[in-house]
Structure 1
């Protein structure tokens, strides 16, 4: 139960930051649209710093094997979700924002602070595997959903600053090269802002809406249920009852990190991408807020069930 309690405390802290974002808009200090600038800073500056810093660990066979396990588990989970999405889309008539919100978790913004608090900084490297897989799918499949593009442009995917950070981080990890301590210190400081900044953005967007507007989204309960209960339960079953954990040392804990990445709320990046690509960012932020509230119960519960 120890890890579950730590996760609940972390989520409560982030939720309070989201409330702060709403307050500074409601009091007129900032406007909701000002969050657009913060979204760009988070996507194109803070996120790459987080990715690069995660790879700055010593290369060993134990870490390599753990990364391969985490990578394989992340691919399996994403394939399961993306194969299920068209079926759910037809059944429930999901729009682009709803599909993207269901498919992509807030692992990019929350997994590192959660893993650091619950397990320790030495385990953060394994979260990079899930981040790498999700980044690829988010900037290919996710971008296609939100932009209305029909084809995957690999050049655009691999020229994205976040994918560049993944590739650069992997090269540095395999080669054993370390960035200067001054640079690492700056990236570490910037990376620590990712969770609070993302919740602040969501709060600012919600603060620009009336409660009547929030509750006007009648499908919010359905999307929250699919995002926070259905896919986490399926992922929990796969990670807990498959033979994956036995493939490498520390497999059980590494798959716990994968589970943590899956069961986080809807990705804040969906809100930020919706802003950038002209979709319904308000709806995306409401889904993010709702799942952030619900996850304070569902995340500790899923972790507890995994550890039973």
Structure 2
């Protein structure tokens, strides 16, 4: 089946769940605290289950090599995104410079990337995505902090920030993958059921966030379009060129490209709150790029279907 068609179908399905989440907030079923609490459940329980299960596949050297290659390509992809952010958002932009740059560099590759790649490529795609997520965490807790705070954090604090359930799931999963140990069915089945909640939970959260944001007001801001084009078109396009030059297999290429094509991430809003930046603007960029990605991601995947064989 055509890659663009599969992606568009999954995006539409996810968008319907997003609308349900927005409707839940508008009708009072969900409130301001619902999204944050559900986000915690997603980050600390659901997503780690999906990651852990992605490593429950038979070990072979080719997959291990592919994981390392994915990490390397992801690293270069982030360097590209940082360069794009500096070009699109010069130092003299103003007080929102850090928020805008972070919105370009860091995508919602966990919330949207995991369910989308799981739908397109299955467990093997999520397996390779963990390499991208690892590199993402390395950059966001070093470059991201320096960007938003204006200074470097101590190595001890940076390392402490990397200790989280998703990274723990990655480390545990790699150990299980290398040793060939499989989870017993009585553990595997509950973990699988929890992991199955990933897509609906992620999109319900996105819908609740959408309902709370000033979406129409954000569309009147010219800077919004510069950030959106940089994040959703320029970064994925340059990443595609990188992947074509690298000549890696289709699964790795589609995984890295999809992660890079995801909309701006929630980390921008969370860091903006923590470092007293414009969190409302960060939230608007997250919401607007999420809605626009319903068009841009299928378009990017259509191009990928032509170039990645």
Listed as ranges, the matches of 1:1-308 within 5 Å are 2-90=2-90, 93=93, 94-146=96-148, 150-152=152-154, 153-209=157-213, 212-215=216-219, 217-240=221-244, 242-245=245-248, 251-271=249-269, 274=272, 280-308=278-306
- CA shift in 2, pair 1:130/1:212, >3 Å: closer
Structure 1 residue 144: Cα displacement? 4.3
- CA shift in 2, pair 1:66/1:45, >3 Å: same
- CA shift in 2, pair 1:134/1:294, >3 Å: same
TM-score, normalization by structure 1: 0.86
| 2:247 partner SS | helix
Structure 1 residue 168: Cα displacement? 2.1
Structure 1 residue 281: Cα displacement? 4.4
Structure 1 residue 7: Cα displacement? 0.5
- Structure 2: how far apart are the matches of 1:288 and 1:53? 28
Contact 1:39 1:272 in 2 (8 A): no
The CA deviation string for residues 35-61 of structure 1, in whole angstroms up to 9 with x for no partner, is 221222222222222222222222101
- CA shift in 2, pair 1:139/1:177, >3 Å: farther
Count of aligned positions: 302
TM-score, normalization by structure 2: 0.85
Contact 2:88 2:227 in 1 (8 A): no
- Structure 1: how far apart are the matches of 2:215 and 2:162? 40
Structure 1 residue 224: Cα displacement? 0.9
Contact 1:55 1:128 in 2 (8 A): no
- CA shift in 2, pair 1:268/1:123, >3 Å: same
Unmatched segments (≥5 aa) in structure 1: 246-250
Structure 1 residue 2: Cα displacement? 0.9
Contact 2:269 2:283 in 1 (8 A): yes
- CA shift in 2, pair 1:131/1:205, >3 Å: same
Contact 1:271 1:285 in 2 (8 A): yes
Superposed CA RMSD: 2.6
Contact 1:232 1:263 in 2 (8 A): yes
- Structure 1: how far apart are the matches of 2:302 and 2:281? 31
| 1:219 partner SS | helix
